[in-house]
Amino acid sequence: MLAFLKELKSWVQVSCRSRDHVSVDTVVSALHHRITSAILLVCCALVSSRQYFGEPILCIQDGPDDDAAIPSKVLNTYCFITSTYTVVGPAGETWQGQGPAERRHAYYQWMPFVLFLQSLLFASPHAVWCNWEGGLVRGSLTGIKGEVRGPDRDKLRTLARYFTARLHTFRIWAAGFYVCELLNLLNVVANVCLTNLLLLGGKFYQYGLQMTRYSLETLEVSPADVVFPKLTKCMFRKYGPSGTIQIHDALCVMALNVVNEKIFGALWFWFALLALVSALAVL
pLDDT > 70? residue 64: no
Report pTM: 0.76
Q: List CB contacts of 99: < 8 A, sequence separation 6 or more.
A: 88, 93
pLDDT, tens digit (0-9, with 9 covering 90-100), for 130-182: 888 877 777 777 766 655 566 667 777 888 888 888 888 778 888 888 999 99
Average pLDDT, the chain: 80
Cβ(126)–Cβ(167) under 8 Å? no
Per-residue pLDDT, averaged over 217-227, amounts to: 81
pLDDT > 70? residue 13: no
Cβ(109)–Cβ(257) under 8 Å? no
CB-CB neighbours of 140 under 10 Å: 16
pLDDT > 90? residue 267: yes
Per-residue pLDDT, averaged over 26-37, amounts to: 92
pLDDT, tens digit (0-9, with 9 covering 90-100), for 70-90: 888 888 888 888 888 887 665
pLDDT, tens digit (0-9, with 9 covering 90-100), for 108-126: 878 888 899 999 999 999 9
Q: b vs e for 185-224, b when ≥16 Cβ sit within 10 Å of the residue's Cβ?
A: bebbeebbeebbebbbeebbeebbebbeebeeeebeeebb
